[in-house]
């Protein structure tokens, strides 16, 4: 296997949480990269909270597609064979009903209590939280894809979120370019490390308290 690093590594590892046939909701941005790294034999159905199941990515240049079929970011998307569209009432009904196997989101902040802040930054205009609040509450598994620190080098995995919360105590896993962290009843457990990364590096770049097991697995 060629070396995988950075955001590609985050997407590669996150895609390993999916099982064949899962209904998966992928947030805007980095989460969409998971489709490039699906394991062999794993086929997932992509949901968008604005009313579709079976999104199949952006059309190629010159390829016809229905302009009314869009993803959560408003980008025109293809619809796979067997896909379907429906109203928002139906969409949020199945999301709130627990039928989404996994939702994958980015984060501005996530903390050791499993709280997530990913929809508003003070001083910047936000269109709204979209369906994120419903998705993290209704999905069976909540996966957070994030770079471990922000552009200034500040930790994004905190003791306590400072930004407005998207959800409280709903995060299951945090996947960064350094490691995989599992939120358990006991706290945040460092389960896997990226190649070449030490537990000391992760600890130094994490504000939250981490539980360090005797044996730590590898992300690859």
Domain 6-42+100-218 annotated CATH 3.40.1080.10: yes
CA distances from 201 to 62, 96, 149, 155, 169 (A): 47, 38, 12, 12, 26
Give tens-digit pLDDT for 105-135.
Answer: 999 999 999 999 998 776 776 666 668 899 9
What pTM was estimated for this model as a whole? 0.94
d(CA 183, CA 125) in angstroms, rounded, equals 31
Give tens-digit pLDDT for 87-104.
Answer: 989 999 999 999 999 999
Q: Which DSSP string do the residues of 185-212 spell out, in sequence order?
A: TTEEEEEEE-TT--HHHHHHT--S-EE-
Q: Which residues are paired to 23 by β-bridges?
A: 45
The domains of the chain are located at: 6-42+100-218
Q: Considering the candidates 3, 19, 49, 147, report the single residue annotated as catalytic.
A: 49
147 is catalytic: no
pLDDT at residue 75, as a whole number? 84
Name the maximum alpha-carbon separation found in the chain: 54
């Amino acid at each position: 296997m060629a070396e995988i690093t950075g955001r590609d590594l985050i997407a590669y590892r996150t895609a390993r949480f999916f099982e064949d046939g899962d209904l998966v909701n992928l947030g805007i941005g980095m989460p969409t990269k998971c489709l490039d790294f699906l394991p062999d034999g794993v086929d997932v159905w992509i949901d968008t909270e604005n009313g579709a199941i079976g999104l199949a990515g952006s059309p190629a240049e010159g390829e016809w597609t229905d302009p009314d079929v869009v993803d959560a970011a408003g980008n025109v998307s293809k619809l796979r064979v067997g896909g379907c569209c429906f109203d928002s009432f139906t969409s949020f009904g199945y999301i709130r009903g627990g039928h989404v196997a996994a939702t994958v989101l980015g984060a501005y902040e996530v903390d050791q209590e499993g709280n997530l802040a990913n929809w508003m930054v003070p001083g910047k205009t936000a269109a709204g939280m979209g369906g994120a609040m419903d998705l993290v509450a209704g999905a069976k598994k909540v996966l957070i894809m994030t770079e471990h620190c922000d552009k200034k080098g500040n930790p994004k995995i905190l003791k306590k979120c400072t930004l407005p919360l998207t959800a409280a105590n709903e995060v299951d896993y945090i996947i960064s370019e350094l490691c995989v962290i599992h939120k358990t009843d006991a706290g945040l457990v460092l389960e896997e490390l990226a190649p070449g990364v030490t537990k000391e590096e992760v600890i130094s770049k994490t504000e939250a308290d981490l539980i360090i097991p005797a044996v730590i697995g590898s992300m690859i």
